[in-house]
A and B are shown apart, each in its own frame.
Chain A
Amino acid sequence: MSTITFGKAINEGLRRALADDDKVVLLGEDIGTLGGVFRITDGLKAEFGEHRVVDTPLSEAGIMGTAVGLAYRGFRPVVEIQFDGFVYPSFDQIVTQVAKLHYRSRGTVRMPLVIRIPFGGGIGAAEHHSESPEAYFTHTAGLRVVACSNPADAYVMIRQAIASDDPVVFLEPKRRYHVKGEVDLDASLADARPMGVATTVASGGDVTLVTYGALVQTARDAATAAAEDGVSIEVIDLRSLAPVDYATIEASVRRTGRLVVAHEAGEQGGVGAEIAASITERCFDWLEVAPVRVTGHDIPYPPAKLEQYHLPDLDRILDGVDRALGRPNSLSEVEA
């Protein structure tokens, strides 16, 4: 076991993938000499050379489109999008090409691309640097969308994503890059939990709290705080947003009868809406109350000095839990 940061865990996962398979290539802006603006690819160009770790021209559509061509040829491209808000120039290539080529070619063409996106807020950044674009991708058939929340998962999941024959949108909660955790660098993929399976990171019997990415830690903190108050929260780290591991959520909700879903992205049309609807369909008879969403507002990501009012924090999650429990909460008088 090594104790390394989240960022270093991804770096190690990429290193391992580059070493294991010479068809793996990394593409992106500033990822070579600089090692990426977050230093996630630090040292990899020096180790594997400029044809494996490629500094590309400043063009997201160019990067994504050429990655498609590389995949056509049997490569396994791992693309770095510098910040969440810059994925959109390549959106067309992702949703019309990357996502659909396997289907359109009736299974002949594989698109084993990984699209790494540092996502989410909480770092006081400039505009377009803190977005949560996941719903755009979960709405597109053909893409897998995953979000890891801790170094151990990051190390394994990036390798699983690269090994997958499907395109994977790989979301990295950037505000967690510097958080340390234990990672087994010799972990074998064969034994690892599949990336499509959720993890129960805290057990509890009163409320099921589902989240992913940076909010997993906030949710755990909320569970700890609630425990002092006599409320026991089960926290599920979703890990995969498309497809969602409903079996794990369902089993939990059947025990607790209450569901809260939390994410930084806006409420409307979000991953939380999808989970709330699906769980209502599957667990209607077990639910004590309607599922609750705790999300970012449906606004453009606000300036840094306002992000604390946008991002769900511990208190907002606890308020959501109170709603699920029918305790006094922010809505008790309005929507009682």
Chain B
Amino acid sequence: MTPSDREATGLLTRPDDLVRLLDQSGVRHASPEFDPWVADVDLDALIRLHRDMVVVRRLDSEATALQRQGELGLWPPLAGQEAAQIGSARALHDDDFVFSSYREHAIAWMRGVRPDELLSVWRGSAASGWDPYARRMAIPQIIIGAQTLHAVGWAMGARWEGTTSASIAYFGDGATSEGDVNEALVFASSFDAPVVFFCQNNGWAISEPVGLQSKQPLARRADGFGMPGIRVDGNDVLAVLAVTRWALERARRGEGPTFIEAVTYRMGPHTTADDPKRYRSDDDLAAWRERDPITRLHAHLAASGADIDAVDADVKEAADRAAAELRAGLTAIADPEPMSVFEHVYAEPNSHVERQKERFARYLAMFGDEDGGTA
């Protein structure tokens, strides 16, 4: 069986077992199990969720454009995944801790990460952008799946210290094949760690369809590790919010880990260095465009009697402001000084690095670049 055959088994599209509160056309469906988790979400709150999604979509397209203009070295777009990210981020408490991969810009935004902090890594100016303790979010992980273990360790500690905070690990469908992720599931289960595994199944791991990683819905793997696995429509922000709140509450109550599979779609390329035309069909894309997370909430707002013109005007203003902030943030990123390559290699003085540093400073000084040697 080829990967594309496997994909056709419906790992992405089979709707029957998905938690969904808002369907594709924005119609609200009742769910006895999950309605209580979003009972407080009134029209105003829905409007805010909508605004958040529009804003991060704009930030994402703006960053993609900045990459095309040569201002960023690389950018992994999140377009299509706004509901999965905003819905889950809104479920977090301030004292929870996020361990993410490289595509969770919306989560970072929700955690208060500033544009310059967000962009500096992708610009190639810094090894990391923000203080993880200040933002309650670890610096992004490029090594696929490694962060899931970190989330579990953090959660084990939180439990041992008797707190009620939880961690959440974001990773992709491809990541579920890595050893680290499987080991994370084992540890989380063995230690009843208060952690939520949040898998954004966006259909692809670069060129590889999810069917190459799994023959069953990914959430079903959870069963084998002894934790609940739940599939949610990842383009339904309300359902994602409900499911994530439910999972986090389980964690806080000491009932251990949960595996959430948010079924969504990566609308753009894997990163700005990728060419999805080589492996993905236009039909696929068109079908997913119809499931757009923002359009459906917008339709729901309109049907619920929101003043939709005011909503539109407000989100436009918010998105424009965020985009302007992003561009201003970019110009705030200074090019790093040459000698900064030696900073933070060790926490304590290290004679070897000190010596190399001195030698390199002398080397730079030979070019008459006074700053080079002393920066």
A residues bordering B, Cβ < 8 Å? 29-30, 32-35, 37, 50, 55-62, 85-86, 88-89, 124-129, 267-268, 297-300, 302-306, 309-310, 315-316, 319, 330-331, 333-334
Q: Write the nearest CB–CB distance from A81 to chain B, whole angstroms.
A: 13
Does chain A have a CB within 8 A of B142? yes
Contacts of A319 in B (CB 8 A): 363, 366
Q: List 15 A-B contacts (CB under 8 A).
A: A37-B274, A55-B212, A57-B177, A58-B144, A88-B143, A268-B352, A298-B345, A298-B352, A298-B356, A299-B353, A302-B127, A303-B336, A305-B336, A309-B341, A310-B341
Contact A300:B142 (CB < 8 A) given known A33-B279, A125-B73:
no
Which single member of B73, B144, B178, B335 contacts A124 (CB below 8 Å)? B73
Q: How far is the CA of A88 from the CA of B144 in the complex (A)?
A: 11
Q: Which 6 A-B pairs have the closest CB atoms?
A: A304-B124, A34-B207, A57-B177, A58-B174, A330-B363, A59-B177
Q: Is B127 touching A300 in the complex (CB atoms < 8 A)?
A: yes
Does chain A have a CB within 8 A of B36? no
From B102, B208, B367, residue with most partner A Cβ within 10 Å: B208
Does chain A have a CB within 8 A of B2? yes
Contact A305:B2 (CB < 8 A) given known A57-B177, A62-B179:
no
Q: How far is the CA of A302 from the CA of B125 in the complex (A)?
A: 9
Q: Is B342 touching A299 in the complex (CB atoms < 8 A)?
A: yes
Q: How far is the CA of A82 from the CA of B257 in the complex (A)?
A: 32
Does chain A have a CB within 8 A of B18? no
Contact with A along B65-99 (1 / 0, CB 8 A): 00000000110000000000000000000000000
Does chain A have a CB within 8 A of B359? yes
Contacts of B124 in A (CB 8 A): 124, 126, 303-305
Closest to B367 in A: A315
Q: Is A330 touching B207 in the complex (CB atoms < 8 A)?
A: no
Contacts of B279 in A (CB 8 A): 33-34
- Could you list 8 further interchain pairs (A-B, Cβ under 8 angstroms) beyond the known A34-B207, A89-B143? A30-B207, A35-B278, A86-B144, A89-B180, A302-B127, A303-B121, A305-B336, A306-B338
Q: Is B143 touching A299 in the complex (CB atoms < 8 A)?
A: no
Residues 111-138 of B at the A interface (beta carbon under 8 Å): 121-127
Q: Write the nearest CB–CB distance from A297 to chain B, whole angstroms.
A: 6
Q: How far is the CA of A334 from the CA of B2 in the complex (A)?
A: 64
Residues 170-186 of B at the A interface (beta carbon under 8 Å): 174-175, 177-180
Number of interface residues of B (CB under 8 A): 49
Contacts of A55 in B (CB 8 A): 3, 207-208, 212
Q: How far is the CA of A299 from the CA of B74 in the complex (A)?
A: 23
Contacts of A315 in B (CB 8 A): 367
Q: Write the nearest CB–CB distance from B336 to chain A, whole angstroms.
A: 6
Q: Write the nearest CB–CB distance from A258 to chain B, whole angstroms.
A: 19
Q: How far is the CA of A207 from the CA of B207 in the complex (A)?
A: 48
Does chain A have a CB within 8 A of B322? no
Contact A305:B335 (CB < 8 A) given known A57-B177, A58-B213, A331-B359:
yes
Q: Is B179 touching A302 in the complex (CB atoms < 8 A)?
A: no
Does chain A have a CB within 8 A of B206? yes
Does chain A have a CB within 8 A of B340? yes
Closest to B358 in A: A334
Contact A306:B340 (CB < 8 A) given known A37-B206, A126-B142, A128-B142:
yes
Contacts of A299 in B (CB 8 A): 341-342, 345, 353
Does chain A have a CB within 8 A of B191? no
Q: Is B359 touching A330 in the complex (CB atoms < 8 A)?
A: yes
Which single member of B180, B338, B352 contacts A309 (CB below 8 Å)? B338
Contacts of A88 in B (CB 8 A): 143
Residues 211-230 of B at the A interface (beta carbon under 8 Å): 212-213
Contacts of A125 in B (CB 8 A): 73-74
Q: Is B336 touching A306 in the complex (CB atoms < 8 A)?
A: yes
Q: Is B74 touching A267 in the complex (CB atoms < 8 A)?
A: no
Q: How far is the CA of A33 from the CA of B127 in the complex (A)?
A: 33
Q: Write the nearest CB–CB distance from B74 to chain A, whole angstroms.
A: 6
Residues 318-375 of B at the A interface (beta carbon under 8 Å): 335-336, 338-342, 345, 352-353, 356, 358-360, 362-363, 366-367
From B126, B144, B352, residue with most partner A Cβ within 10 Å: B144
Contacts of B102 in A (CB 8 A): 126
Q: How far is the CA of A37 from the CA of B273 in the complex (A)?
A: 9
Does chain A have a CB within 8 A of B41? no
Q: Is A303 touching B359 in the complex (CB atoms < 8 A)?
A: no
Contacts of A268 in B (CB 8 A): 352
Contact A33:B177 (CB < 8 A) given known A50-B2, A303-B336:
no
Which single member of B2, B127, B362, B366 contacts A127 (CB below 8 Å)? B127
Q: Write the nearest CB–CB distance from B177 to chain A, whole angstroms.
A: 4
Q: How far is the CA of A330 from the CA of B352 in the complex (A)?
A: 17
Q: Write the nearest CB–CB distance from A327 to chain B, whole angstroms.
A: 12
Contacts of A309 in B (CB 8 A): 338-339, 341, 360
Q: How far is the CA of A60 from the CA of B336 in the complex (A)?
A: 34
Which single member of B73, B213, B278, B360 contacts A126 (CB below 8 Å)? B73
Q: Write the nearest CB–CB distance from A199 to chain B, whole angstroms.
A: 29
Contacts of A333 in B (CB 8 A): 362
Q: Is A304 touching B73 in the complex (CB atoms < 8 A)?
A: yes
Q: How far is the CA of A29 from the CA of B207 in the complex (A)?
A: 9
Does chain A have a CB within 8 A of B205? yes
Q: How far is the CA of A180 from the CA of B102 in the complex (A)?
A: 34
Contacts of B126 in A (CB 8 A): 303
Q: How far is the CA of A331 from the CA of B359 in the complex (A)?
A: 7
